[in-house]
Structure 1
Amino acid sequence: MTIVSRKPVLRVRKPGALVVAALIALFGTVPFAGARWQLAPILLIPLAILVWAWRAGTDVDAEGLRVRALAGSTFVPWSRVAELAPDPRGRISALLTDGNVLRLTGVTTSNLQAVLRAGGQEVNNPPTPD
């Protein structure tokens, strides 16, 4: 069995400040967790946030979108995407042809144009700035 690895055209991730904040929280809990061995599991909370912030995001290529989370990922080919729509906070969700909605981690109205260009998609109705 051969595993083919495709490099995405565009990788959209959470802001880097989230990774820095998780690192600060991790280092801040070390003295607290080191005081007693029963408190050591508290290190898992900022560590999980750090891994999530590093990994979570949306990868885009001509074949589709791969939405990554802490422990898994979902691939959606462009043929299954009916529409990309913003919510009131400016985050983008993919409305799929089967009626499901998939939130695109890290994709906002400000980088939607780059996502569409990276996927080779045409823009029918670009969002208007508020």
Structure 2
Amino acid sequence: MRSKPLLRVRKTGALLVAAVIAFVGAVPLAGAGWEWTPILLLPIAAFAWAWRAGTDVYPDELRVRALAGSTRVPWQRISELAPDPSGQISALLDNGNVIRLTGVTQTNLPRVLAAGKQEIKQDE
């Protein structure tokens, strides 16, 4: 079994609250008839995604988690961490692939790097 991550970065908790509110709002619609009950699956899936999706930081790797599955990325394979226009951080890998680090933003990137004991190397 894998050791506990040094840092867990998740999306905002407001998404969990929004999913609960959506579920409560969908209950009367689902109660109108059995054919409407599948509508409850949407807020349940949104809640599960908001709860699970994120980036776990380990000393030797990052683990990017989604609703179903996860991707492990060793620190050595990451060539560059770069923000997109919305402030989300993506990792450019040594093979040219790009992986978006769920939940990692420009604001919490220093915490992620510190937890993984990675240095910030800036081009001059």
TM over 0.5: yes
1:123 corresponds to 2:120: yes
Corresponding residue for residue 15 of structure 1 = 12
Secondary structure (helix, strand or coil) at the match of 2:72 reads strand
1:65-104 correspondence runs (5 A): 65-104=62-101
Q: Percent identity?
A: 65
How high is the TM-score relative to the length of structure 1? 0.92
Corresponding residue for residue 40 of structure 1 = 37
Find 2:2's aligned residue among 5, 28, 39: 5
Count of aligned pairs between the two proteins? 123
1:104-119 correspondence runs (5 A): 104-119=101-116
Q: Structure 2: which amino acid aligns with 1:27?
A: V
Corresponding residue for residue 62 of structure 1 = 59
Name the Cα RMSD after superposition.
1.1
1:125 Cα deviation (Å)?
Answer: 2.6
Question: Which deviations, in whole Å up to 9, do the C-alpha atoms of 1:16-51 show, x marking residues without a partner?
Answer: 001000011011101110110000000001110000
Q: Structure 2: which amino acid aligns with 1:24?
A: I
Structure 2 stretches lacking a partner, 5+ long: none
The separation in 1 between residues aligned to 2:117 and 2:21, in whole angstroms, is 39
Structure 1 stretches lacking a partner, 5+ long: none
Q: Could you list the runs of 4 or more consecutive aligned residues of structure 1 that deviate by over 3 angstroms after TM superposition?
A: none
Secondary structure (helix, strand or coil) at the match of 1:24 reads helix
Secondary structure (helix, strand or coil) at the match of 1:75 reads strand
